[in-house]
Each structure stands twice: as C-alpha cells, then as structure tokens.
Amino acid sequence: MTRKVVVIGAGFAGLQLVKDLKGADCEITLIDQRNHHLFQPLLYQVATTLLATSEIAWPIRRLMRRRKDVTTLLATVVGIDRAGREVILKSGARVPFDILVIATGARHAYFGNDQWEKDAPGLKTLEDATTIRRRLLLAFERAEVTEDEAERGALLTFAVIGAGPTGVELVGIIAELAQHVLPQEFRHIDTRKSRIMLIEAGPRILSAFPQGLSDYAAHSLGRHGVEVRTGIPVTAVSEDGIVLGDQPIPARTVIWAAGVQASPAAEWLGVEADRAGRVVVGDHLALPDDPAIFVIGDTAHVVSDGRPVPGVAPAAKQQGVHVARVIRARLADRPEPAAFRYHGIGNLATIGRNAAIIDFGRVRLKGRLAWWVWGIAHIYFLIGTRSRLAVALSWLWSFLARQNTARLITQKETLRDTD
Amino acid sequence: MTRKVVVIGAGFAGLQLVKDLKGADCEITLIDQRNHHLFQPLLYQVATTLLATSEIAWPIRRLMRRRKDVTTLLATVVGIDRAGREVILKSGARVPFDILVIATGARHAYFGNDQWEKDAPGLKTLEDATTIRRRLLLAFERAEVTEDEAERGALLTFAVIGAGPTGVELVGIIAELAQHVLPQEFRHIDTRKSRIMLIEAGPRILSAFPQGLSDYAAHSLGRHGVEVRTGIPVTAVSEDGIVLGDQPIPARTVIWAAGVQASPAAEWLGVEADRAGRVVVGDHLALPDDPAIFVIGDTAHVVSDGRPVPGVAPAAKQQGVHVARVIRARLADRPEPAAFRYHGIGNLATIGRNAAIIDFGRVRLKGRLAWWVWGIAHIYFLIGTRSRLAVALSWLWSFLARQNTARLITQKETLRDTD
C-alpha cells in the first residue's frame, strides 16, 4: 500500500524535498504553521521598507496546487508519538506517518537572556519584519515631535547586535534610509545625524568570510556612516537601550541578529541535540536509531567532510534533495545513495547600496560588481516570474528614485506608540 | 505675519487642499493618525488578496517631501479649542491655527448595533482590509480540516451586507476566488460550492445607478455564482452568522458594507451634525458661524444644486480644490470665489472579472468595455509611476494567471485560529 510521508515545515529544505518526491509512490502531507513559504534571505529588506511582504512570500497551497499527491495543512505541531507513528497537532488531531521529515527551521536565540527579546526583536518571520519596520519608522516619527534633546538622541540611535550577513545587511539599509531616503521628509530633525551601530562580540564582522573581504565590508560600512564596534559584548538590553561592555548606550531601536536556536524538534523526538538545539543526525540525515525519521535544514546538526554544515538556504535545499533520493530508493527497494555531502557554493552579503562581497572560494568579488551579481542571483532564486518582476521593480525604484516603497505602519500600535 | 493653516486628515480632500495651497503665503501643518495616504477605492482589492497593502498607500511624508512649507505630524486629534484656536492632540500637545481644515473622513456605521462590528468588520483602513483578508483565507483553511459537515457549510458561507459599490465589488472578487483561484489548491473541499451572499435591505443593489445598470449588475453577479438578496434587512449578526429577516443563516465570514458614520469632528467643534454625524457647512464649506474653520470630504454635509454631495473621491477632491481657492483669496485679500458646486463626473463599479458598469449621465457603459475603462481610470488616479506599474502588474497577473498575489496570513492570530 502507498506509504504516508509527513513533512513538517515548508521552508527551503521541506519544499525542496516535496518537489523532489514528485511522482514517487507515496502520499505526502505538508504541515506548516503559516500559510506561506518565506524567502528568508530577503526578509531584512522587508524589515527595512525596501520590499513588501507579498514580494518574498508565497501561499504554500498555491505552490502545491498541481501536486494532487500533496495535502497542505495549516497547523502547529506540538509533539511526535514515535511509538504510535503519529504527529500531534495543537488542535489535538493526529497525523499518521510511515516516513517523517522534520524541517522546522530555527528561531533567533538570546543565549539565556530571553527577556531581551521584547526590546531587541530578531528577524525570522514576516511578523518580525513588520514589527522591526514599525519600530524603525516610529523612531524617526517620535524624534520629529519630541522636545527632549536626550530622548531625540536615543530615538535616532539604531543598534544592530550581531555582525553576520543579516546584521550587516540590516545596518546597510538603515544607513541608506537615514542618509538618503528620509532627510528631505522631516522638518525638525536631520536624519543624517542618526547614530547607526553594528555590534559584534567577536573580533571581526562577517567572520564566515576571509579577512580581506570582512575588512572591506567594515570599511565600506564606515563610509556609509555606520559605527562598527567589534570585540565588545552586549551585557544588557532594556527599553532604555543597550550596555556595551560597561558603557550604557541609550537607543530606542535595537535589533537582534546574533544567534539562532533550532525549533523544539529534539524535544518532540526525545533525542540528543547540540548546543543550538539542533538534532544530531546520521549519514542520511535520519535519526541514528530510527531511519524513517529525517531531520533537515536549520533544525539538524549535519557534518560533512568533518565540518558542520552552515545554516544557509543552499545547504537546506541540498539536504532536501538528498532525503528525497533516500526515500525514493527505499520506496522502490533500490540501494540507498551515498552519504550526504554538502557542496558549498559560496558566501554572499550586501553592504547597503552598490557594495557587496562574494566568496566563491577561488573567486572573490567585492564592490559594485559583487552587488549586481548578488542581486541577480537572488532574483533568480525567487519563485515565479511575477515575484521576480515585482522585486526587480522595487529594487529599481529604490536604486533610481531612492524611494523605498514599503514604508507603511499598519499595526494598531501606531496610535498608542506615537500619542 | 505668515498665517498658520492646520489640516487634519490626509485623505483625498486634505491632500488635494494641501497640494493646491502650494506657494500660498502660509505655514501648513498636516496631521494624520496614520503615516500613509490610502487609495480607498481599491481597498476592497487588498481585503480580497488581489493587491498588496503597499500598492495603494503612500507615506504622507514622502508625498510632502518637497513642500518645505508643510510639516507632517503623525498624531491623533482628540479635540479642538475653538476659543484658543488650537488643535488638541492625544499626547496633550496643542497645535495653534489661524485657519483650520477638517478632513477626517468617515468610519463604517452599524446603525446602533455596534456589537455587530466584532463579527461583521467593515472596510475603511488597511488594518480592516488585512483583517478581512485573514478571515476570508482562514475560513477556507478551517473548512479543509473540519470533520463537521454543518461547520464546513458555515465556513464556506460568505455574507456581505450592503450592496453599494464596495459590497458589490467585494462579492465579485470573493466569487472569483472561490470559483477560479482556489479550487485546485484544496483536497477535501470544493471551494466552488461556497455560498456567497450579497444582502441589501433596499429594493435593489447599486441604488445610486440607473435601474438598467443595477439590474445588469445583479444578473451578472448571479452568473458569477453570487446569491443576491434584496428587500430583506439583516436583523441580527453573531459569531454563528446572520439572521436575514427571521431566517438564520450560519456564516463564519460576514463583511459589513452597509453604512458610514462621519468622524467625531462635530463633537470636537460642538456644532450641528446630520444623521450620519456629518458637519453641516455653508457655501464655502466653512462653519456658518466661523469662516476660518472648514470641514470637507466625508466629514462634511455639503449641498450642491439642492442635492447632497455623495461621499466619493472626486467630490472630496473638488472640495479640497475649492477651499484652497477660498484660503488663497483671503490670504491675498482678493474677493472670494463663487460658492462651491459639485460636478458629478459619473459612477463606476466593477462586478468581478470582465464586468463593470459606468454611468456618465448621458453615456452608460456595461460589461467588458466598462471593466477596462474602470481599470484604466483607477490606475490613472494612483499616485506615482511605481504604484501604477505595480498595480497593473498585479492585475495583469490575476487576469492572465488567475493568481492573486497578496494571499498572506500574517497576523499572529493565525495559529490560535486554526489550531
């Protein structure tokens, strides 16, 4: 009889897996707690008013409409009954499986300081992005009306904690906003005087890149008016701002880009996890003691060629591809493929307008050319002609007209916050 | 010394007024409780997943960036001190004025049944639109998973109360969604079996149009699978659904498009208002006893050629134009212009895909041609090339690919609602 494959999570890993199972002899149930697949590499642009939410997210049902073998379920998973072979939903309903693939991703982590989240939101979901967008825009609005000098200073101080690609990309656009997009629009403040800080506890920014490229990035951010502070940990975060080492810095807008914590998959399964909460998996990305339960993407601790596989989209997709192969082989009683190996394509990061760095190993690019390569690559990886056109249009506009098109404050909080 | 002009509300009326005051010898403060101007005629398309929020809204500051004589203020007005000539903000701050223009628009009204709002939201703001969008999409999601026959029926019943242009346009797209966009995507339900009702207490739909056109509209909606019920009042609304006359109709999604109530401007001013709460104004759209306080747009009860002026965008703009003329004349000590007269251009309404009706008085159009005229007219009235391109692209896509591009459920409620 047809085997039941249940996939939890429609991110890069889960979606790739389902795509590659097309035509296989199984019934697939794809469960996600949101109704959309999100193109996370561009989420920071939604948070910083460059892109609209609908430009980087697609209804999962829509993507699966022609796959009659796939049933999409909008639901939240709260547990897994390994003995009974069932996924347990928040509603109490249970979804039986023969083969289970967990691709539930990660959230940002505060290293035991969860109380910081309220004042230093992270960036993983569309809600995170619109929350950060709202705070960013309201800070300028409040600075415009306040009579209090010190308060104005705190409102015009923006601190991004964590200098990985996301942190760097965030400060890049915030600087662009303050320097070029907003100045004309305010009458009482000069947004160009904003203090935009990128804070990194480690010795340098973009530590995944070669020294040369990360030096270039730091220099380039400096020219964009960003204050880069490395080698100093943030010791406290509150509604007043942050404490850097022992120096308090009043800041009304603080964004967290410093760390991630895997989804609670390990708890669901009752298995070993690494420090980041990722499930430790074997050669075929399945549980060592249960080959029918796979864990892939940011939820999995995967080692390839003796090195841990990074939590990036290409890695997640490659894992989806591999597990699809393994499942197909098993369904057809064919021998399983060789163990998973990660093929790193390269690292990319943008640094605001006209600058980016790319590390393809042998080939390294920086500056304007890298920026164009970065943009074209990302448009290529978007889903569907329509999104590509829409994103290209938005980028063209902010590039030519220096107008960011997604500058709406829609949450109800607007009123409370400003009055 | 330069006169202080304060404008409350950046809708069609307020924005037009400020535009037309360009170069006049005055300092303008433009106050709005949102950071964006909204193109309300297309709001129903945001509510029904056709357009993204950022496609029909523009940051007010952005629109005013080159007007150094205009200060934009994001704030909520709570009162007006007529004697002290000051506008009172929620924050307690006060904004002095020599000339005041109130253009604060209207909200939907429940004719003394405000408790209905919770279960039958209206459509005036972007938040209203995203709320309705979420309910609409979640109804299909829940119908897909429920085991309860009756519940499924209620979830697939959509009732729009009020058959003015907004009501008609809403059911038109909901029908399009259920009939053509969604069917492929669900596995357990047939969205084409949805019951989509348009309810009107009056004798016919689109009563502002000639009998012939409203008959055509009703017939056309019928062909789109919409159940049109006229001449029956809704006597109750609850979370279970509605009561039509004395017949209960279980429906989980009910939308209110039946009536509007003006903003509380009349209370602020302590002046006479009509039944809809609109301020009764004189020839120059100012208070009869205070020529320096103007009220325009949906907040004003204006009579032209013995007939009340309708609450439509062109009327609001014309009032903005007129008051700007009056103010300019006064600032320059020139004689004031003739009394305000409304020039009705015509009435337009779409009926889902490929059908619309237009009444230019002498000329009347219906069907496909009218639909294209309607679309081109609306794109023309959008602000900026970028929005025009974006909206045109979204429309083209839903027309050719039958894919609605703004189908995201982003509010946190998602989880609670579906699990």
The average pLDDT across A198-211 equals 95
**Out of B301-305, B315-319, B410-414, which region has the weakest mean confidence (pLDDT)?**
B410-414
Partner-chain residue, chosen from B34, B141, B389, that has the shortest CB–CB distance to A74: B141
A54 touching chain B per CB within 8 A: yes
Asked if pLDDT for residue A1 goes beyond 80, the answer is no
- Please give the residue that has the higher pLDDT: either B387 or A336: A336
B386 touching chain A per CB within 8 A: yes
Asked if pLDDT for residue A416 goes beyond 60, the answer is no
Would you call B403 and A397 a contact, using CB atoms and an 8 Å cutoff? Answer: no
Does B199 reside within a domain? yes
Would you call B141 and A34 a contact, using CB atoms and an 8 Å cutoff? Answer: no
User: Which residues on B lie below 8 Å from A64 (Cβ)?
Assistant: 185
Residues A88 and A204 grouped into a single domain? no
Domain end marker among B284, B306, B331? B331
Asked if pLDDT for residue B121 goes beyond 60, the answer is yes
- Please give the residue that has the higher pLDDT: either B46 or B397: B46
Residues B149 and B232 grouped into a single domain? yes
Domain end marker among B290, B314, B331? B331
Does A38 reside within a domain? no
Integer CA distances (angstroms), A18 to A29, A104, A171, A327, in order:
9, 14, 35, 11
Q: For residue range B316-371, list pLDDT tens digits in order.
A: 999 999 999 999 999 999 999 999 999 988 888 998 878 899 998 888 999 999 99
The average pLDDT across B89-97 equals 95
Asked if pLDDT for residue A418 goes beyond 90, the answer is no
Q: How high is the mean pLDDT of chain A?
A: 92
Query: ∠ CA(A387), CA(B38), CA(A181), 5° rounding?
Result: 65
Q: Is A1 exposed, middle or buried (0-12, 13-18, 19+ CB in 10 A)?
A: exposed
Partner-chain residue, chosen from A54, A93, A407, that has the shortest CB–CB distance to B52: A54
Q: Which residue of A has its CA nearest to B418?
A: A75
Residues B84 and B118 grouped into a single domain? no
> Is residue B69 within 8 Å of residue B331, measured between CB atoms?
no
Residue-range definition of the domain harbouring residue A287: 3-33+75-108+260-331
Rounded to whole angstroms, the Cα distance separating B24 from B21 reads 5
Residues B119 and B155 grouped into a single domain? yes
Rounded to whole angstroms, the Cα distance separating B117 from B238 reads 9
Sheet holding B241-244, edge to edge: B234-238, B241-244, B247-250
Residues A209 and A320 grouped into a single domain? no
How are beta strands B356-360 and B363-367 bridged, if at all?
antiparallel
Share of chain A above pLDDT 90, in %: 78
Q: For residue range A29-65, list pLDDT tens digits in order.
A: 999 999 999 999 999 999 998 898 888 999 999 999 9
- Tokens in use for A5? 């494959």
Distance from CA of A125 to the nearest CA of B (A): 9
Q: For residue range A143-182, list pLDDT tens digits in order.
A: 999 999 999 999 999 999 999 999 999 999 999 999 999 9
Asked if pLDDT for residue B417 goes beyond 70, the answer is no
B66 touching chain A per CB within 8 A: yes
The domain that contains A311 carries what CATH number? 3.50.50.60
Total domains present in chain B: 2
> Is residue B35 within 8 Å of residue B74, measured between CB atoms?
yes
Share of chain B above pLDDT 70, in %: 97
Asked if pLDDT for residue A104 goes beyond 70, the answer is yes
User: Which residues on B lie below 8 Å from A151 (Cβ)?
Assistant: none
φ, ψ of residue A133 in degrees (nearest 5): -60, -45
Does B66 reside within a domain? no
Would you call B36 and A90 a contact, using CB atoms and an 8 Å cutoff? Answer: no
A399 touching chain B per CB within 8 A: no
Rounded to whole angstroms, the Cα distance separating B258 from B110 reads 8
Residues B175 and B246 grouped into a single domain? yes
Does B374 reside within a domain? no
Integer CA distances (angstroms), A343 to A19, A21, A53, A381, in order:
20, 21, 31, 17
Query: ∠ CA(B184), CA(B189), CA(B192), 5° rounding?
Result: 65
* Banded pLDDT at A386 (limits 50, 70, 90): confident
Q: How high is the mean pLDDT of chain B?
A: 92
Predicted local confidence at residue A413, as pLDDT: 42
The domain that contains A217 carries what CATH number? 3.50.50.100
User: Which residues on B lie below 8 Å from A104 (Cβ)?
Assistant: none
User: Which residues on A lie below 8 Å from B398 (Cβ)?
Assistant: none
CA B296 to chain centroid = 16
Catalytic residues of B: 169
Residues A83 and A203 grouped into a single domain? no
Q: Among residues 184-213 of chain B, which lie with CB inside 8 Å of chain A?
A: 184-188
* Banded pLDDT at A206 (limits 50, 70, 90): very high
Does B404 reside within a domain? no
Residues A319 and A245 grouped into a single domain? no
The DSSP string of B223-264 is HTTEEEEES--EEEEETTEEEETTEEEE-SEEEE-S-EEE-T
**Out of A15-24, B47-56, B409-418, which region has the weakest mean confidence (pLDDT)?**
B409-418
Predicted local confidence at residue A144, as pLDDT: 94
**Out of A54-58, A335-339, A397-401, B403-407, which region has the weakest mean confidence (pLDDT)?**
B403-407
Asked if pLDDT for residue A362 goes beyond 90, the answer is no
Other beta carbons within 10 angstroms of residue B225's beta carbon come to: 18
Does A209 reside within a domain? yes
Domain end marker among B298, B331, B364? B331
Would you call B393 and A397 a contact, using CB atoms and an 8 Å cutoff? Answer: no
> Is residue A85 within 8 Å of residue A96, measured between CB atoms?
yes
- Please give the residue that has the higher pLDDT: either A410 or B2: B2
Closest listed residue to residue B356, CA positions, set B344, B372, B367, B343: B367
**Out of A14-23, A83-92, B123-132, which region has the weakest mean confidence (pLDDT)?**
B123-132
Does B419 reside within a domain? no
Predicted local confidence at residue A410, as pLDDT: 67
Residues A104 and A123 grouped into a single domain? no
Q: For residue range A322-357, list pLDDT tens digits in order.
A: 999 999 999 999 999 999 999 988 888 998 878 899
Residues B215 and B237 grouped into a single domain? yes
Secondary structure element (H or E) that encloses residue A96, with its range: strand A94-96
Does B340 reside within a domain? no
The one catalytic residue among A127, A144, A151, A169: A169
Residues B247 and B144 grouped into a single domain? yes
Asked if pLDDT for residue A190 goes beyond 60, the answer is yes
**Out of A89-93, A95-99, A350-354, B52-56, which region has the weakest mean confidence (pLDDT)?**
A350-354
Sheet holding A290-295, edge to edge: A70-74, A26-32, A3-8, A99-102, A290-295, A286-287
Q: What is the model's pTM?
A: 0.91
A59 touching chain B per CB within 8 A: yes
> Is residue B43 within 8 Å of residue B56, measured between CB atoms?
yes
B61 touching chain A per CB within 8 A: yes
With residues binned 3-state (H G I as helix, E B as strand, rest as coil), the percentages for chain A, rounded to 5, are 35, 25, 35
Residues B148 and B248 grouped into a single domain? yes
Q: Which residue of B has its CA nearest to A406?
A: B54
Asked if pLDDT for residue B120 goes beyond 70, the answer is yes
